[in-house]
Structure 1
């Protein structure tokens, strides 16, 4: 894979009810679909933290992004915004990319859709990572802070976008927050967003949880007040192979607060099924390598060339070079020989 420059090309999948769904594909390896909430994938690439997340995940896997019906670059003339409609969007994208098996990253309102798809298609879903949603979506949307925010949708769309980005999602201030707000602002019309949130609140897949066989990692921010931890715990307990991990921090979003650790954990989960929260790096503290960097280091230490490492891991030689450069920097080494010596001293296996 070549390094991502600019914005990836937008493709279109056609749903069974004839809605054009905009999607992008970057990277190589296992297919992971980052399912949308209220989205605009083209604008989201201009958010520095999100771009970093997309690029980091696509180092290890084929990352697929898409806009749900009525949002972003997808078809805007839609009537049905219920669960069945969102399932049609996902199915259309999976068919368009020709994937037999996928991982699902269900974010916010997409959590219910991910659960429903995994329950109906156990042979096609390898693993799921869920964050910010619930089996009964109204439970994730009921806190007073969330309801106050949603009341702004029709009253003041610009204020809603700004408040959603800064106050509710915790993007703070600066370029990230401003660009997230712009992504919200351009994701949909206020009228469609109103209907979209109303339909989301009606989604209830609690009866489907025990039909999900895919290993499922549910993440929750420990101090986030928008969604009670009990909601995330019920979701993890409800699926057959669910695991709840409570992350440090208070922002109800991933890949911002502790972004590097979130990304390492997500990548490790999708690649190996291993659940491990990487500690934040501290001066003089232990060196933190991602799951893929560990694999590259292990193979480099056996004397394999970059081409052989790429073949063994099913990634491109360019991607191996990027991982090698990153791990050299983290280890403070300058060559394959020094990296091999570090691996031997520290027992990398």
Structure 2
């Protein structure tokens, strides 16, 4: 039995006996890369990743492979396969700690037993490939950084699921809540979870202490702390019933009953057709409502964001809201080869299957509208209603307007050179386009959303992908009731694009909204208008009562 450890310091053991790794960091890094990328790799590509130097990169690769072969091959079992063109590592019979964790958290095992979640949580013994940074090898380093973020996201999802599953037992949940906070002490949501669990466990003084510490830390870092401050209201209310009632006969606290109004989301993972792992979340109860992914989503971050939380709250109020991070974004796989419209459609299909959706309405936002339209045409038996907000059928490169193409090309250059900078001024350009009327707190959140949601490389690739979108030919084929809404002053997607969708889809109803924001903000009248129209549409009402109040323009 060969066992490889990637979580923490790289280690390899045969029949539980540790093997001595080569001293060369590049050779060890090559081993880790081959372990997690099992497809054949061209020798030229591996040389570019690790030895792009003037002397003899192919010779350096041969030397490293010669050091790895005795470690991974057994008598009569060659796992390291190499010819003159390609190199690959067969790990089908190798135990890999990261793969074991992913298998344990596989959504097909849902609901994952709590004991399996606990075991998976204990597997995260350290940072992915700790100490194996190669700053001079930019290709490998970018992969390693993306993988570390992916592993942290997997660990966060594991801990968050454990906390939720143990919500009726605050004491055990507190252990995992503290570990969740250790992953990122600047995450406001983790502080909130810890404070509320302490209150549920009757530890009011400790909750006050942690609340003050979290606020001080976030304030010192210049990060939003408004929602954490709101927890002071919880401190002013009476203790939870189990804390007031004291202890039972055996001295144990009474079981905690979560407040039904205190809704949670459950994050799971599924696999697209090409094996890409897609993170999806469910929140709320009632009939399903599916929101296809749009650019820059992060299931955890959006849950607390002042830019997106009111969307999630309202949409999950009467429905089981299902949303997901598309490939290259958020908690889904960042390291993806195929970033095409067809691949993103396979992500959507995978989420539908994993969530067990049969017939459901879809809410498309921005480029998510194109995916919603394509899915509705391809699967008319599944989609009951279409809601399309701020969307387009033609990407920016397909609209035939030189001025917009020039502006979008300039944005692509900005993404390539400025997205990953510490200075948020580069990302502020996008924030101003998406939410020009946002408050300083909302703008700060949106700036940060861009940084944590997508890498500079993926941001540029997605920007190009969305420019090439063209589903105009599918619009006349839509046969389900359709509601189209668009902000008149939208600076991201022209108002004319929403009008085009509404005029081409048979019997679609068009609702203009008085706003400049591509993402509607909670305190603007257009948000109230949007919510009223969507609720009426899903309830089967022909016209919302708000239509007259807001002077609906039904001409398209």
TM beyond 0.5:
yes
Q: Pick the TM interval, shorter chain.
A: 0.7 to 0.9
Match of 2:415 in 1: 153
- 1:48 match: secondary structure: coil
Match of 1:271 in 2: 539
Q: Does 1:88 align with 2:356?
A: no
- Give the C-alpha shift of residue 178 in structure 1: 1.3
> CA 1:279/1:134 → structure 2, altered by over 3 Å: closer, same or farther?
closer
- 2:309 match: secondary structure: helix
Describe the superposition over 1:205-257 as per-residue Cα deviations: whole angstroms up to 9, x where unpaired: 11111211111111111233443332211111111231211111222223443
Structure 1 range deviating more: 155-164 or 236-245: 155-164
Structure 1 range deviating more: 71-80 or 216-225: 216-225
Q: Does 1:111 align with 2:377?
A: no
Equivalent position to 2:326, from 68, 77, 92: 68
Equivalent position to 2:286, from 29, 47, 50: 29
- Give the C-alpha shift of residue 91 in structure 1: 0.7
Match of 2:509 in 1: 243
- Determine which structure has more spread, i.e. the larger CA radius of gyration: 2
- 1:9 match: secondary structure: strand
Structure 1 range deviating more: 161-170 or 51-60: 161-170
Match of 1:290 in 2: none
Superposed, 1:1-349 pairs within 5 Å as: 2-5=260-263, 8-38=265-295, 39-138=297-396, 143=404, 146-157=408-419, 158-256=424-522, 257-258=524-525, 259-272=527-540, 274-276=542-544, 278=546
Aligned length: 281
Match of 1:323 in 2: none
- Measure the CA separation in 1 of the matches of 2:294 and 2:460: 13
Query: Unaligned stretches of 5+ in structure 1?
Result: 283-349
- 2:510 match: secondary structure: strand
Structure 1 range deviating more: 103-112 or 218-227: 218-227
- Give the C-alpha shift of residue 170 in structure 1: 2.4
> CA 1:199/1:223 → structure 2, altered by over 3 Å: closer, same or farther?
closer
> CA 1:24/1:172 → structure 2, altered by over 3 Å: closer, same or farther?
same
- Measure the CA separation in 2 of the matches of 1:146 and 1:251: 18
Structure 1 range deviating more: 248-257 or 52-61: 248-257
- 1:151 match: secondary structure: helix
- Give the C-alpha shift of residue 49 in structure 1: 4.3
- Measure the CA separation in 1 of the matches of 2:310 and 2:400: 28
Describe the superposition over 1:89-140 as per-residue Cα deviations: whole angstroms up to 9, x where unpaired: 1111111111101211111111111111011001111111112221112257
- Give the C-alpha shift of residue 21 in structure 1: 0.8
Answer whether contact 2:434 2:491 (CA < 8 A) is retained.
no
The answer to which structure, 1 or 2, has the higher relative contact order (CA under 8 A, 6+ apart) is 1
- Give the C-alpha shift of residue 54 in structure 1: 1.0
- Measure the CA separation in 1 of the matches of 2:275 and 2:539: 34
TM-score, scaled to structure 2? 0.47
- Measure the CA separation in 2 of the matches of 1:146 and 1:171: 21
Query: Unaligned stretches of 5+ in structure 2?
Result: 1-258, 551-556
- Measure the CA separation in 2 of the matches of 1:172 and 1:180: 9
Cα RMSD between the aligned structures? 2.5
